[in-house]
Amino acid sequence: MTDTTLPPLGFLAVEVDIFRPPGDPFNEKTWPFPLIREIVSGTSESQIVTKEAYDDAFIERFVAAGIKLAERGAVGIITSCIDPNWVRISGAPDDGHLRGICARGETYDASKLERELVEQAKTLVETHPDVALVVLECTNMPPYATAIQTAIRLPVYDVFTMGTWFYSGLVRETPSTWVA
Q: pLDDT tens digits, residue range 166-177?
A: 999 999 877 677
Confidence check: pLDDT of 52 > 80:
no
Burial of 51 (0-12, 13-18, 19+ CB in 10 A): exposed
Confidence check: pLDDT of 81 > 70:
no
Domain for residue 177, yes or no? Answer: no
Confidence check: pLDDT of 8 > 90:
yes
For 109-154, the pLDDT digits (tens) are 999 999 999 999 999 999 999 888 899 988 889 999 999 999 999 9
Domain for residue 61, yes or no? Answer: yes
Domain for residue 20, yes or no? Answer: yes
Q: What is the pTM of this model?
A: 0.65
Domain for residue 4, yes or no? Answer: no
Domain for residue 115, yes or no? Answer: yes
Domain for residue 180, yes or no? Answer: no
Determine contact, residues 33/160, Cβ cutoff 8 Å: no
Task: Give the number of domains in the chain.
Answer: 1
Query: Which residue segment(s) compose the domain that 91 sits in?
Result: 9-170
Instruction: Report the mean per-residue pLDDT for the chain.
Output: 86
Q: Tell me, what's the pLDDT at 113? A: 95
For 96-105, the pLDDT digits (tens) are 998 888 888 8
